[in-house]
Amino acid sequence: MLLITCPHCGPRDETEFRYGDQAGVAYTPDADDAAWAAYLFVRDNPKGWFHERWFHAHGCRTWFSVHRHTVTHEMRQQP
Amino acid sequence: MSPHPDFLWRDPEPRRSYEVVIVGGGGHGLATAYYLARNHGVRDVAVLEKGWLAGGNMARNTTIIRSNYLWDESAAIYEHSLKLWEGLSEELDYDLQFSQRGVLNLAHSLSDVREGRRRVNANLLNGVDAEWLDPAEVAAFCPILNVSGSARYPVLGATLQRRAGIAKHDHVAWALARKADAYGVDLIQNTEVTGFQITKNRVTGVETTRGTIAAGTVALAAAGHTSVLAAKAGLRLPLRSHPLQAMVSELLEPVLDCVVMSNAVHVYVSQAHKGELVMGAGIDAYTSYGRRGSFHVIEAQMAAALELFPIFSRVRLLRTWAGIVDVSPDASPIIGPTSVEGLYVNAGWGTGGFKATTGSGWAYADTIANGRPHALAAPFGLERFTTGALIDEHGAAAVAH
């Protein structure tokens, strides 16, 4: 199980959180079909450091982002 | 000491150039090579595998084979796969331990019941065998299931596909590899693709840890690592790589002679020929290439399994593992050309690719050989994410596989 550090509550078990996938995906209301499809369906899927969001669903209900390594699962505020 | 048995395939040095290079020596890559040679006479083929053959998800799946998907496009390719499975042991001259023992998909709620009945009707219209069983019939078909009204997950019925079942995954890979090798396909292990050679938006070869190999066509069959490879060719694909965990128990006497799946609680159980219970969980929520998942996923899955099968309460778990599965937004595969000419992708099989090893290889080989999507593959092209013609199998034909 991952140990995830919530900025408000500190380190807590993964089971308290919901995964929010890639951080910083910009909403693109004026996109053409291809750009809209990319906005809806395509995310980075790197083997290595990944900037992603988590939601402390069973805690303070804060959304926050971390950098996590997708092989080691190490988490940092900066990669 | 007896002499070492014969090797099933050669261990060739890579040549400088091939007509077709397949990236990934798992089930789908091997099946693609086999059908390229068998159906299309394309034998100037290399399968490049960064590890050893069939050591990824082909070695980690729970071997369930079925074709009872909801949508026409899915039913077509999975049923084609199942029909190929039915003749494959004989065709490959290898005992694949393909056992059509029947797969139950349990319904635990009224919406499950409606979905199940709808799927049975859809399957019958598509020529796929399917039956709806009420709880008493479920109990008769699988006596060790807890169908009592007081169960935590009451069994309100189930769909049954009698032609569905399991096969021995290693034998499948070995048999396909042996036949492909006999046709002249080079199966090249311990050779990782590190880049692509692309001239004027056309792929001309691959860079590997053993040098550059020219290719007329490059076909990806790399499952969970497809995104990593595609990125080297400048492509972003609608795929997420997640850990999917599975586990086996100690060896038991025969106790379960069918496959039981429950989408609602993410349990699927069968008993392998050797005697162990083979069980799978749902994917871990986060993306990963780490080939391990979180233990709470297994814990929740075991808790649900024990509610369904009280008889397993003292069974000991022998080991657990994870594979990295590539999940697409609509839980359907992506098969076909990419925006780079000559570069094809076959991915997104997610949590259920083993059952499609045959049909996937068949359709992909035809797509590669003819330079256009095979009829079974055409609905599964990348363009569906732009047109909106998704094939949404998420809730429909089973999230668990």
Can you list the domains of chain B with their CATH numbers?
A: 5-61+169-239+329-387 (3.50.50.60), 100-165+240-326 (3.30.9.10)
CA distance B98 to chain A (A): 35
ipTM above threshold 0.95: yes
Q: What pLDDT is recorded for position B396?
A: 52
Are B46 and B212 in contact by the 8 Å Cβ rule? The answer is no
Whether residues B289 and A70 touch (CB distance < 8 A) is answered with yes
Q: Residue B365: what are its φ and ψ, rounded to 5°?
A: -60, -45
Contacts of B294 in chain A (CB under 8 A): 1-2, 14
Domain holding A68, by residue range, is 3-77
Q: What is the pLDDT of residues B11-64, one digit of tens each?
A: 999 999 999 999 999 999 999 999 999 999 999 999 999 999 999 999 999 999
In order, the DSSP letters of B59-82 are GTS--EE----SSHHHHHHHHHHH
Q: CB distance from B289 to chain A under 8 Å?
A: yes
Phi first, then psi: give them for residue B354, nearest 5 degrees: -60, -45
CA distance B225 to B229: 7
Task: Please tell me if residue B294 touches chain A, with a CB cutoff of 8 Å.
Answer: yes
| Radius of gyration from C-alpha coordinates of chain A | 14
Name the pLDDT band for B395 (thresholds 50, 70, 90). low
Which helix (H) or strand (E) segment holds residue B98: the answer is none
Quickly list DSSP for B299-328.
Answer: HHHHHHHHHH-GGGTTPPEEEEEEEEEEE-
Residues 6 or more apart whose Cβ sits within 8 Å of residue B377:
B77, B335, B336, B363, B364, B366, B367
> Could you give the 3-state DSSP secondary structure of residue B97?
coil
Domain count, chain A: 1
What order of strands is seen across the sheet that includes strand B157-161? B131-133, B157-161, B103-107, B259-262, B267-271, B276-283, B240-251, B317-327
Query: Where residue B397 falls among pLDDT bands split at 50, 70, 90?
Result: very low
Range list of β-strands (E), B36-152: 45-48, 64-65, 103-107, 131-133
pLDDT digits (tens, 9 = 90+) for B299-314: 999 999 999 999 999 9
Structure tokens at B257: 């002679």
CB-CB under 8 Å, A18 with B285: yes
Nearest Cα neighbor of B238 from B326, B323, B341 is B326
- Supply the DSSP string of B242-299, one letter for each residue: EEEEEEEEEE--S---SEEEETTTTEEEEE-TTSEEEEEEEEPSS--SSS---HHHHH
Average pLDDT, chain A: 96
- The answer to whether the CB atoms of A37 and B225 lie below 8 A apart is no
| Residue B400 predicted with pLDDT over 50 | no
Give the number of other CB atoms < 10 A from CB of residue B109: 12
A42 contact residues in B (CB cutoff 8 A): 236-238, 385
Chain A contact present for B390, CB below 8 A: no
Residue A48 sits in a domain whose CATH number is: 3.30.2270.10
Contact B26, B54 (CB under 8 A): yes
Q: How far apart are CA B226 and CA B348, in angstroms?
A: 9
B159 token code pair: 């769909």
Q: Residue B232 is encoded by which pair of tokens?
A: 């080297």
Residue of A13, A21, A47 for testing the chain B interface, max B β-carbons within 10 Å = A47
Cβ contacts (< 8 Å) between B240 and chain A: which residues? Answer: 21, 43, 45
Mean pLDDT, all residues of chain B: 95
- CA B379/CA B336 separation, integer angstroms: 9
pTM, entire model? 0.96
| CB-CB contact of B297 with B304 (8 Å) | no
Task: Report the distance separating Cα B105 and Cα B113, nearest Å.
Answer: 10
Instruction: Confirm if B27 and B54 have CB atoms less than 8 A apart.
Output: yes
Q: Identify whether the C-beta of residue A43 lies closer than 8 Å to the C-beta of residue A21.
A: yes
- Strand ranges for chain A from DSSP E: 3-6, 10-13, 18-22, 49-55, 63-69, 75-76
Between A14, A45, A52, which is nearest B227 by CB?
Answer: A45
Summarize pLDDT for B149-174 with one digit per residue, the tens. Answer: 888 899 999 999 999 999 999 999 99
Q: Quick one: which of B224, B242, B269 has its CA closest to B63? A: B269
- Indicate if the pLDDT at residue B398 is higher than 70: no
* pLDDT at residue A4 in the model: 97
Mean pLDDT over B373-380 rounds to 98
Report chain A residues touching chain B, CB-CB < 8 A.
1-2, 13-15, 18-19, 21, 33-34, 37-38, 40-47, 50, 52, 68, 70-73
CB of B228 less than 8 A from some CB of A: yes
**Nearest CA-CA partner of B64 in B391, B289, B389, B349:** B349
> A with B: how many residue pairs have Cβ under 8 Å apart?
62
Min distance B351 CA to chain A CA atoms (Å): 17
Tens digit of each residue's pLDDT (9 = 90 or more) over B210-243? 999 999 999 999 999 999 999 999 999 999 999 9
- Residue in chain A closest to B382 (alpha carbons) equals A37
Any A CB within 8 A of B189 CB? no
Average of pLDDT values for B370-374? 98
CB contact under 8 A, A41 and B385: yes
